Structure 1
Amino acid sequence: MSDTKTIILRKPLKYGKGDAETTVSEISLREPLAGDYEKAEQSAGIYGTSVALIALLSSAPVDVIDQMYGSQIDEAEDFIASFGHDAVRNPARSSDEIVIQLTKPVQITRDDSALNIASLTLCEPTNQQKRKAESAGGPFARMVALISLIGKVPKSSVRALSARDFLEAVAYFNGFQVRRSPDSDD
């Protein structure tokens, strides 16, 4: 799986006026970070989270992304979803605790610091922890807060997680919503 994708626009798009007018004939996307989902959620406005995320990942203005054909938006969404979306959509029942070895360790500082992480140790959240995370905002902001709280790492480190690692943690938490049967040993 590639970390980037370039989409050639079927129709070049323009933005700006006069000497500042710019023509965009392609957009290049990169793998999202957890913080990108959160930023897109916060800045979705009239365009929606998906278009805001594509704009963020491509560094193209959101109104340019809004002018793209629907099939090209779908192509961008498919690329973004390729980083673990299936795990989030099809959760298995989660174990009581898990250690996730990050595919892309977080390196925020050069120092030996709690900001730099190579793994996350997560467990089933208590109701109190879930309530505390709920106050963070939308679904992505809540997940960043919950991972930070349970994993005992700063939110800035969670925001720097690759999509693959972030969505693996999300899938782990979603696995607690899978019902345990009354006759199970769990």
Structure 2
Amino acid sequence: MFDDEIIIALSKPVTIGKGEASISYHELKLREPTAGELEKATRADTSIGAAITLISLITAIPRTAVERISKRDLVAANNFLEGFTEPGQTAVEAGQS
């Protein structure tokens, strides 16, 4: 059994925008994806693109910011999301069935 939600502290904060209009993100608040979020994520051309889209949808962080997170943080987020799928099936593949 695992938690339904997790907060992943980013190894390096991600900032988008400039000056006073800039926004920094320090963590990813993840939860179980909805069927609609999985469906939208499966439209991406690559599995990494699908993971970025899914993380963006769940966290409500702009995709451009999620694109800048480190590989380590991407892997941690994806590992959590894969916990909601059948063994051997990625979160993105689960939305394709």
Q: 1:116-127 residue pairs with structure 2 within 5 A?
A: none
Q: 1:26-175 residue pairs with structure 2 within 5 A?
A: 26-42=27-43, 44=44, 48-86=49-87, 88=89, 140=95, 143=97
| 1:63 CA displacement | 1.4
2:84 aligned counterpart, secondary structure: coil
Distance 1:16 1:85 in 2: 38
Give the structure 1 partner of residue 12 of structure 2.
Answer: 11
What's the TM-score, normalizing by structure 2?
0.80
What's the TM-score, normalizing by structure 1?
0.44
| 1:48 CA displacement | 1.1
Deviates more, 1:46-55 or 1:32-41: 46-55
| 1:9 CA displacement | 0.8
Q: Which has the higher contact order (CA 8 A, sep 6+)?
A: 2
Say how many residue pairs are matched.
93
Q: Which has the larger radius of gyration?
A: 1
- Give the alignment's Cα RMSD to 1 decimal: 2.5
1:48 aligned counterpart, secondary structure: helix
Distance 1:38 1:85 in 2: 16
Query: Percent of aligned pairs with the same residue?
Result: 30
Q: Which runs of 5+ in 2 are unaligned?
A: none
